[in-house]
Amino acid sequence: MNDHALRLLLQDPRLAELAAYPFDFDVERAGYGHVEPVRLASGGPLRIIAGDAGGGTYFVCEDGSVLYADSEGSAGIVGASVDEALEIMIGLEDAEDHDEDDEDTEEDGGFGLERARTELRTALGFLERPRAELEALLDAALARTEPDFLLLNAEEGRAYDLIGPPPPPLWEPVLAAGRADLAALRAPDLAVWDAVAENLVRRRLALRAAQFDRAEGDLALLRHLLRHEARSSMTDELRLAAVLVGHYGRAEDLPLLDEVRRTDFDTACGLSELPGPDADPAELRRWAQEMDALLFGADPADEPLYTWTDLAVDQGLTNLARCALIRRFDAIELDQGLLRQDDDPTRLDTAELSSLVDDFERIGERGQALRVQRLHTALQEAACDRVSARLTQARLEREAGLLPSASRTLAALRGTLAEPGDDSLGFWRGTSLGRYIAEEHFELALALADAGSAEEARAVLGAAEAIRGELAESPARGVRELAERAVGRVGGLS
């Protein structure tokens, strides 16, 4: 980490004063902290080193990069090191940002921005660089903010806006490897064909690359990828491969597609609308065109976000997926109109929220998953949906160690069971939902017992036993072992 300049500022009050004014990098403000608790979405450490007069804060990240966050909710990397960040700030400070009294004048021998720039730059050992070079350094630094340095409000989980231009669309870095593999597949090298086709992630990325870069000579490689993708049973990429092959409208591909469809029960259902092996090739082409228009297309910007976040995670690009998912939920939280149903704009479709919860859990972001689930719960109307949503919310709260919150959520769930307000819960006692409700109560009782909360554990256990007593024979039998364990554990508390 290169922080030679920072050490000099901390050692020399005169240099620290110059850095604070006119360059607004005040090391004394480091002790004030930031205006709100913050953290990196990636989980890396942050160390405050300075602040500015507007309430902004300078942080050093684990790799030495300097992250600046203003007081209005925007943030960005402003240097690869403290030295670089200071060099950029000193060099780019503009005279227009200062009063006329701050400028150099021959008459009064005033201090002046340029005199301060020269003195501080010399003392810190910085060479004079062209402004364009410093601007290029700053642009490069800002471009590195996402995905590794996305700043969040630590309490609410919301992301700070970016200082500077937005990053490239998610599909560009996600598709990069697939595009490289597609180019390699177009060369007559069977070893490459097998290496790509036998690797699940590489195969699916290559198919996605072929979706957006269609070439007349790709039929043979698409057949190869199709055969291998069928081994994974029914997937979006299997349907895509079938569509890309079907676009060619070749009679000889009809038996291949029929064979793929008959791989197993799931493929038979998922590809049931495929023309049969004796169909007219023109019918195959029409099917492919219709499916393409309905489900795929040739513009990556039209693809659902979750296509790219899933493929990002599959490649280990978890920070990319995390940033995109957080920003998507931030947008939904600010404008729930994004969830409006296409066929009925007066109603919201909360299925995307359920998908977000699953995606956040997949990457280990339990806090973000809980944040989404709480909104999902609040938007449910039918009693059955409210109960299911609260059940998931209570589990997430329990797993996050928020046991009092989980207790309150289950209490609200029981309130809905007692007074549902509609008939959607009529059969819960005889279904798996009833079993899951009882299980979550017993799990929370165990967690409270482990936390030493004896009174709360007994209360939740009592509610759990009451629910189990209402269940039909099969769901009650399914929860018996867990119930016995919870009774034994809570009963042993002093």
Q: What is residue 188's predicted lDDT score, i.e. its pLDDT?
A: 78
Judge if 33 and 156 occupy the same domain: yes
CB atoms within 10 A of CB 52: 18
Judge if 94 and 225 occupy the same domain: no
Q: What is residue 481's predicted lDDT score, i.e. its pLDDT?
A: 97
Residue 184 to residue 175: CA distance in whole angstroms: 14
Domain boundary among 237, 271, 301: 301
Q: What is residue 103's predicted lDDT score, i.e. its pLDDT?
A: 52
Model confidence pLDDT, tens digit, residues 402-432: 999 999 999 999 999 999 999 999 899 999 9
Judge if 24 and 137 occupy the same domain: yes
Judge if 26 and 106 occupy the same domain: yes
Whether residue 151 lies inside any domain: the answer is yes
Judge if 182 and 279 occupy the same domain: yes
Preceding omega of 475 cis (within 30 degrees of 0): no
User: Following DSSP, what letter does each residue of 266-313 receive, concatenated?
Assistant: HHHHHTTTS--TTS-HHHHHHHHHHHHHHH--S-GGGS-HHHHHHHHH
Judge if 151 and 175 occupy the same domain: no
Judge if 156 and 289 occupy the same domain: no
Model confidence pLDDT, tens digit, residues 141-199: 999 999 999 999 999 999 999 998 899 999 999 999 999 999 999 997 889 999 999 99
Range of the domain at 238: 171-301
Whether residue 376 lies inside any domain: the answer is no
Judge if 108 and 72 occupy the same domain: yes
Q: Tally the C-alpha atoms within 13 A of residue 115's C-alpha that lie toward its C-beta.
A: 9
- Six-digit token pair at 483? 């119930």
Total number of domains in the chain:
3
pTM of this structure: 0.92
Judge if 143 and 281 occupy the same domain: no
Whether residue 369 lies inside any domain: the answer is no
Q: Strand, helix or coil at 340?
A: strand
Whether residue 374 lies inside any domain: the answer is no
Judge if 109 and 187 occupy the same domain: no
Domain boundary among 113, 145, 162: 162
How much of the chain exceeds pLDDT 90, in percent? 93
Whether residue 388 lies inside any domain: the answer is no
Whether residue 196 lies inside any domain: the answer is yes
Judge if 203 and 157 occupy the same domain: no
Residue 403 to residue 398: CA distance in whole angstroms: 5
Whether residue 75 lies inside any domain: the answer is yes
Whether residue 71 lies inside any domain: the answer is yes
Residues 6+ apart with CB under 8 A from 88: 78, 79, 134, 137, 138, 141
Model confidence pLDDT, tens digit, residues 20-34: 999 999 999 999 999
Domain boundary among 162, 193, 208: 162
Judge if 47 and 134 occupy the same domain: yes
